[in-house]
Amino acid sequence: MPEVSDNTAAALPTDDDVTAAAALPTDDDVTAAAALPTDDDVMGVLRGVIDPELGSDIVELGMARGAVVNPDGLVEVTVALTTSGCPLRAQIQRDVQRRVGGLPGVEKVKIHWSELTQAEKAAAMSKARFNVSQNAPDTAVPPTAKVVMVASGKGGVGKSTVTVNLAAELARRGMRVGVMDADIWGYSVPRMLGVEGRLAGAETEKKIIPNERPVGDGALEVVSMGFLVDKEETALMWRGLILNRAVQHFLQDVRWGQVDYLLIDMPPGTGDVQMGIAKMLPQAEMVVVTTPARNAQKVATRVASMGRSNYLRIAGVIENMSVFLDPEGRSHAIFGAGGGQELADQLGVPLMGQVPIDGSVATGGDMGTPVVLENESGPAADAFRAITDRLQQEVPPVDMASCTARIFEAAEQALANLDTVSD
Ligand SMILES: Nc1ncnc2c1ncn2[C@@H]1O[C@H](COP(=O)(O)OP(=O)(O)OP(=O)(O)O)[C@@H](O)[C@H]1O
Ligand SMILES: [Mg+2]
């Protein structure tokens, strides 16, 4: 098959990477995770902090000047801004705090602020312009999009269900939400969102236009392998051949447009897809879905530490299938209790919420209408809405208003300079 020779792609993990991933955290490593990160580890996570206006990460832009890890767990980071009054300062500060503070062993993060010199500023701007010229913005994930990978240690815990419900609820709140089904071979997003049809443009101009589902004032932009193959048997034939290529293709060659969020439904547990995404989208964060069963925590922890070793921030844990509410309103802990909280504590991240077992969740998935769009209220719909609130707090959408403020500031400065010249 000619495609075989085409099966290498620059940004993909090499075989070595994959082997390295397989050698990643054992259970013992996880327990020993209290060891401090190195200065390089800190610089690594800082690559996930994007200056939303310049569209590149602060390490590449030369804004992250350095990091020092003190033996007591205090990490000092020096960040130089383009102007000291930069309105994006609060946003960058929050991102640095969250990412560095999320590294195991870090007790406290202190940021020392400084300002780029004129020469450095010019270099950062030209770097940013170069990056923009390299990726036409309409063919890649916009740097302002918040990227959330929905992952789990085990299959069948409800990743896809959580992905589609959070995406649908964000869209209902007026946002444009990309949904990428990275579960290439076990895709279920098309059915769960009731979106079908082949992807337009996929064959002709090698650019994919997502299938859109308008929701209220917002919209879902959906991409899945299910839109590219006709039959499941065809999918099986492609297996392995293009697994990572498909994910890379979805990220690079899809016209996502100005999405506020991109939610990625991950295949269960695999390290290589996670690593591929982490490399291409350093701003990606992860939420881990688990059931309340306590013995499920070990595998979930492993997935989380795999994410961390790829410098992915873990935004929180979602416990699904937490309790079953009978018609009398009594709750039954069918799959055990406490697993979500335990995992969250272990990872040092918040438990973002618990979703009960509710028949309407499964029916909604089968009918293509997520329960948050079907029901105004109800135990599961309410839980998904509360988790969406939490997600918006933990992974806030980029506030482009402050970017505009910065542009106005620059314009005013330029005008002031003109005035001086004409005087
Ligand atoms: N809270 C819930 N209440 C009732 N049914 C649920 C709930 N969450 C998920 N389900 C059902 O459980 C099944 C598995 O869920 P889902 O497909 O979302 O899991 P997954 O983690 O994506 O699985 P896979 O690993 O196979 O991709 C589906 O049939 C779904 O409708
Ligand atoms: Mg799934």
pLDDT in tens, 279-314: 778 778 999 999 998 777 777 787 777 777 667 788
50 Cα: distance to centroid of ligand 1 (angstroms): 33
- Statement to judge: residues 180 and 206 lie in one domain: yes
157 Cα: distance to centroid of ligand 1 (angstroms): 6
DSSP conformation class of 312: P
Q: Is the CB of 166 under 6 A from ligand 1?
A: no
Residue 113 lies in a domain: yes
Pick the more confident residue, 202 or 216.
216
Assigned token pair, 125: 């701007």
- Statement to judge: residues 163 and 115 lie in one domain: no
pLDDT band for position 2 (50/70/90)? Answer: very low
Q: Which of 150, 160, 303, 382 to mutate to test the pocket of ligand 1 (most atoms within 8 A of CB)?
A: 160
Residue 406 lies in a domain: no
Which residues are placed with Cβ below 5 angstroms of ligand 2, an ion?
159-160, 183, 188
Look at 98-112, 175-189, 263-277 and tell me which has the smallest mean pLDDT: 263-277
Residue 373 has pLDDT above 70, yes or no: yes
Pick the more confident residue, 235 or 169.
169
322 Cα: distance to centroid of ligand 1 (angstroms): 12
Q: What percent of the chain has pLDDT over 90?
A: 40
Q: Is the CB of 48 under 6 A from ligand 1?
A: no
121 half-sphere exposure, CB direction, 13 A CA radius: 10
Residue 171 lies in a domain: yes
- The residue from 136, 165, 197 where one domain ends is 136
Residue 412 lies in a domain: no
Residues 133-151 have a mean pLDDT of: 73
- Statement to judge: residues 213 and 152 lie in one domain: yes
- The residue from 86, 104, 136 where one domain ends is 136
192 Cα: distance to centroid of ligand 2 (angstroms): 10
In the prediction, which pLDDT does 423 show? 46
Q: Domain holding 282: CATH number?
A: 3.40.50.300
164 Cα: distance to centroid of ligand 2 (angstroms): 10
Q: Is the CB of 363 under 6 A from ligand 1?
A: no
pLDDT band for position 5 (50/70/90)? Answer: very low
158 Cα: distance to centroid of ligand 1 (angstroms): 4
Q: How much is the pTM? A: 0.74
Ligand of minimum distance to the alpha carbon of 157: 1
Residue 345 lies in a domain: yes
In the prediction, which pLDDT does 206 show? 65
Q: What is the mean pLDDT of the chain?
A: 80
Q: Is the CB of 152 under 6 A from ligand 1?
A: yes
Instruction: Using DSSP, state whether 303 is helix, strand or coil.
Output: helix
- Statement to judge: residues 48 and 191 lie in one domain: no
Which residue lies with its CA nearest to atom 30 of ligand 1? 362
- The residue from 114, 136, 158 where one domain ends is 136
Q: Is the CB of 320 under 6 A from ligand 1?
A: yes
- Statement to judge: residues 110 and 168 lie in one domain: no
178 Cα: distance to centroid of ligand 1 (angstroms): 20
Residue 409 lies in a domain: no
In the prediction, which pLDDT does 179 show? 97
Q: What's the start-to-end Cα distance of the chain, in Å?
A: 72
pLDDT in tens, 188-200: 999 999 998 877 7
In the prediction, which pLDDT does 71 show? 94
321 Cα: distance to centroid of ligand 2 (angstroms): 15
DSSP letters spanning 175-242: -EEEEEE--SSS--HHHHHT--SPPBTTTTSS-BBPEEEEETTEEEEEE-GGGT-SSHHHHHHHTTTS
- Statement to judge: residues 108 and 152 lie in one domain: no
- Statement to judge: residues 224 and 326 lie in one domain: yes
Compute the distance between CA of residue 379 and CA of residue 399 in angstroms, rounded to an integer: 31
Pick the more confident residue, 416 or 49.
49
Assigned token pair, 65: 């000047």
Q: What percent of the chain has pLDDT over 70?
A: 76
Domain that holds residue 268: 145-394
Residue 24 lies in a domain: no
Which residue lies with its CA nearest to atom 9 of ligand 1? 158
In the prediction, which pLDDT does 118 show? 82
Pick the more confident residue, 221 or 402.
221
Pick the more confident residue, 402 or 245.
245
Residues 369-391 have a mean pLDDT of: 94
- Find the helix or strand (DSSP H, E) in which 287 lies: strand 285-290
Pick the more confident residue, 404 or 217.
217
- Statement to judge: residues 278 and 366 lie in one domain: yes
- Statement to judge: residues 316 and 257 lie in one domain: yes
Q: Is the CB of 174 under 6 A from ligand 1?
A: no
Which residue lies with its CA nearest to atom 18 of ligand 1? 158
238 backbone dihedrals φ, ψ, rounded to 5°: -80, -15
Which residue lies with its CA nearest to atom 11 of ligand 1? 362
Q: Is the CB of 380 under 6 A from ligand 1?
A: yes
- Statement to judge: residues 121 and 180 lie in one domain: no
Residue 14 has pLDDT above 60, yes or no: no
Tell me, rounded to whole angstroms, the distance of Cα 126 from its chain centroid: 27
- Statement to judge: residues 115 and 191 lie in one domain: no
Q: How many domains does the chain have?
A: 2
- Statement to judge: residues 197 and 242 lie in one domain: yes
Q: Domain holding 45: CATH number?
A: 3.30.300.130
Residues 60-87 have a mean pLDDT of: 88
Q: Is the CB of 183 under 6 A from ligand 1?
A: yes
Residue 420 lies in a domain: no
215 backbone dihedrals φ, ψ, rounded to 5°: -135, 110
